[in-house]
Chains A and B, each alone.
Chain A
Amino acid sequence: MDAAAITVTGLHKRFGKTHALRGLDLSVGAGTVCGLLGPNGAGKTTAVRVLATLSAPTSGQASVAGYDVVRRPDEVRRRIGFTGQHAALDEGITGRQNLRLLGRLRHLGARGARQRADELLERFELADAADRLVRTYSGGMRRRLDLIASLITRPDVLFLDEPTTGLDPRSRNEVWETVRQLAEDGTTVLLTTQYLDEADHLADDIVVVDQGIVIASGHPDELKEAIGVRVEATLADAAHLETAAKILRELTGCLTTIEADELRVSVNTGGGRGVGLPRLVRELDAAGVDAVDVALRRPSLDEVFLTLTGDTTGRN
């Protein structure tokens, strides 16, 4: 499918003096998963809230599933699911009751809501806990129930605002698996995240947002490509560090880094010349450098992100 499920042009949003969105542009193809990636305060949540009709844009245009979010909010609401940063569930009733209520509010009728709740609980493996009060659920179970709750009517477009924040790794994997299942059904998913590996795992396309505008977008591989390849050689002997660094520099034409403690020499090719490992190994051999390990490493999205934002504070 190539039709856009979400189209955003020049979206601005001010809260008093705060300028949360400064001309955001976005296009998400139907049936794809788009990861909106950015640090705290980048405007990710504001963007999702505008698209989910919770917040009114100051200027600009946004449409979801073919309907303008400002002029036709009810049409948009009929076609979306929304899961905010907090698990929006009623703690004092059971998981099944939560889903049935939402099904009825989505006008499936009492029987339809019951069937759909049972179906979702079965499919997402919450059937065993379905009749317990949500209060007794673990964080991961709540989050999954919360995700399922936004699927009651098989939405065309699903918004997930930081779906795994605060979850332990096991729960996070469960949520990821749930999102993948949704994507297989053809639902368009827009998820925000601060975690680069999350976007890397889930998204077909990544849109990097900083200070209310898009600073980069593309397939995760394209973003990594833009940053280039990292070459590392770990040596047996510290005496050879300088020699190895010189060889790497000559091969790649890029600046090398020496980590003496690790006996490691590395270079980030940053979109410059690539380098073949066999050639590197031969050159090191010829110079009498004893390498324990030579590796080509693709940059993590973290590195991509830091390069794009130029911000090194608070993230590792």
Chain B
Amino acid sequence: MSAIATTVRGRRPVSDAWTLTIRVLLFYRNSPGLIGMSLGAPLVMLVMFGYVFGSAIRIPGGEDYRSYLMPGLFVLIAVNGIMASMVGAARDLERGMTDRLRTLPISRTATLLGQAVADVMVNAVIIVLMAGVGYAVGWRVHDGAAKAIGALGLLLLLRFAVVWVGFFLGMACRREEIAAQAGLLVLPVSTVSNVYVPTAGMPGWLRTIADWNPVSCATSAARSLFGDTIGAAATSPWPLAHPIEATFAWSAVLLALFMPLAVRAFSTHGR
């Protein structure tokens, strides 16, 4: 056997995960336009809601609608990333990349973890760019840099959790086209929330769904950390009264459930 092959011994999960991170980051370096595309959807939402529908929306408490909207758009950026994760996982499966990675002597968890980390890093860039756009349309951080960074961290935690849901669902779809179609289902999930309007005006059953929606929890948490004046009303249900705790809880539940499911789907594909 060759000298190179005989020096290869033992697992190195951290460096393997990092190599997989680089893999995803290289896509973006080679095609920076991908970042622009990820910004496209929230920008369209900003124009549609911030300027078109928002012109007729009055927020209780009289806050400027675009300032109300911005934290929700950050959450949308984080949550809609599930589509990219689903499509990426299905594409790797369909094109045999998953098989090739599985014939390498590397940890399966590390393989997926590396890609999840890359996704979170790219997401951080997109949220910061979106914050710049927000600043230009009048949105402001009111409560100091520390809490704003905390908000960013919370958004990225949610994104990290959502990536694993996406990996699992993408592999369950098996095919890129199906994953792309199925991924669109995230849109109603993110819309039945307090991103665009407060939940108080929704019919009771829908309001309960919206209040417990992780998208709403994260949006409320982001609003509170960015120091927006819309506080939790005394009558708010638990998730909106304690949005930071609720977002942590949702992320933990999603991770506990979907990390093992995704690793299992990856390891046992075609066994």
- Measured CB to CB, the residues of A under 8 A from B are 49, 52-56, 74, 77-90, 92-94, 97, 101-102, 104-108, 112, 116, 133, 149-150, 153-156
CB distance from B175 to the nearest CB of A (A): 12
A49 & B95 in contact (Cβ 8 Å cutoff) = no
B100 & A88 in contact (Cβ 8 Å cutoff) = yes
Given the complex, which residues of A lie within 8 Å of B97, measured CB to CB?
88-90
B271 & A88 in contact (Cβ 8 Å cutoff) = no
Given the complex, which residues of B lie within 8 Å of A108, measured CB to CB?
4, 8
Q: Which chain A residue shows the least CB distance to B7?
A: A107
Asked if B136 lies at the interface with its beta carbon under 8 angstroms from chain A, I say: no
B100 & A84 in contact (Cβ 8 Å cutoff) = yes
Known interface pairs A54-B102, A55-B271, A88-B100. Does A156 touch B27 (Cβ–Cβ under 8 Å)? no
B104 & A105 in contact (Cβ 8 Å cutoff) = yes
Q: Which chain A residue shows the least CB distance to B2?
A: A154
Q: Which chain A residue shows the least CB distance to B34?
A: A92
Q: Which of B90-113 contact A (CB under 8 A)?
A: 94-97, 99-106
Given the complex, which residues of B lie within 8 Å of A81, measured CB to CB?
103
Given the complex, which residues of A lie within 8 Å of B5, measured CB to CB?
78-79, 153-156
The 13 sampled A-B contact pairs (Cβ below 8 Å) are A49-B99, A77-B105, A89-B97, A93-B30, A97-B30, A101-B23, A104-B19, A105-B19, A106-B105, A107-B12, A108-B8, A150-B100, A153-B5
A92 & B31 in contact (Cβ 8 Å cutoff) = yes
Asked if B146 lies at the interface with its beta carbon under 8 angstroms from chain A, I say: no
A112 & B22 in contact (Cβ 8 Å cutoff) = no
Q: Mark B1-28, 1 if CB is under 8 A from A, else 0.
A: 1101101110110011001101100110
A87 & B4 in contact (Cβ 8 Å cutoff) = no
Given contacts A78-B9, A83-B100, A101-B26, 15 further A-B contacts (CB under 8 A): A49-B270, A74-B11, A74-B105, A77-B103, A87-B96, A88-B97, A101-B22, A104-B22, A105-B16, A105-B20, A107-B7, A107-B12, A108-B4, A153-B5, A154-B2
- Measured CB to CB, the residues of B under 8 A from A are 1-2, 4-5, 7-9, 11-12, 15-16, 19-20, 22-23, 26-27, 30-31, 94-97, 99-106, 270-271
Known interface pairs A92-B31, A93-B30, A105-B106. Does A112 touch B4 (Cβ–Cβ under 8 Å)? yes
Count CB-based A-B contacts (< 8 Å): 102
Among B7, B94, B104, B271, contact of A86 (Cβ-Cβ < 8 Å): B94
Q: Which chain B residue shows the least CB distance to A75?
A: B105
Assembled-state Cα–Cα distance A94/B23 (Å): 11
Known interface pairs A84-B99, A88-B97. Does A107 touch B8 (Cβ–Cβ under 8 Å)? yes
Known interface pairs A82-B99, A86-B94, A101-B19. Does A93 touch B27 (Cβ–Cβ under 8 Å)? yes
Assembled-state Cα–Cα distance A150/B12 (Å): 20
A52 & B96 in contact (Cβ 8 Å cutoff) = no
A54 & B105 in contact (Cβ 8 Å cutoff) = no
Given the complex, which residues of A lie within 8 Å of B11, measured CB to CB?
74
Known interface pairs A55-B271, A79-B5, A153-B8. Does A90 touch B27 (Cβ–Cβ under 8 Å)? yes
A84 & B96 in contact (Cβ 8 Å cutoff) = yes
CB distance from A21 to the nearest CB of B (A): 14
Among A83, A88, A93, contact of B23 (Cβ-Cβ < 8 Å): A93
Given the complex, which residues of A lie within 8 Å of B105, measured CB to CB?
74, 77-78, 106
Assembled-state Cα–Cα distance A106/B103 (Å): 10
Assembled-state Cα–Cα distance A107/B11 (Å): 9
Known interface pairs A92-B30, A94-B30, A156-B1. Does A106 touch B95 (Cβ–Cβ under 8 Å)? no
B103 & A52 in contact (Cβ 8 Å cutoff) = yes
CB distance from A32 to the nearest CB of B (A): 17
Assembled-state Cα–Cα distance A81/B103 (Å): 8
Given the complex, which residues of A lie within 8 Å of B31, measured CB to CB?
92
Assembled-state Cα–Cα distance A53/B102 (Å): 8
Q: Which chain A residue shows the least CB distance to B11?
A: A74
CB distance from A112 to the nearest CB of B (A): 7
Most chain A CB within 10 A, of B30, B99, B100, is at B100
B104 & A97 in contact (Cβ 8 Å cutoff) = no
CB distance from B266 to the nearest CB of A (A): 12
Given the complex, which residues of B lie within 8 Å of A52, measured CB to CB?
99, 103
CB distance from A149 to the nearest CB of B (A): 7
Among A56, A82, A104, A116, contact of B100 (Cβ-Cβ < 8 Å): A82
Lowest 5 A-B CB distances belong to which pairs? A88-B96, A86-B96, A88-B100, A82-B103, A77-B105
CB distance from A80 to the nearest CB of B (A): 6
Q: Which chain A residue shows the least CB distance to B95?
A: A86
Given the complex, which residues of A lie within 8 Å of B101, measured CB to CB?
105
Q: Which chain B residue shows the least CB distance to A101?
A: B23
Assembled-state Cα–Cα distance A102/B19 (Å): 9
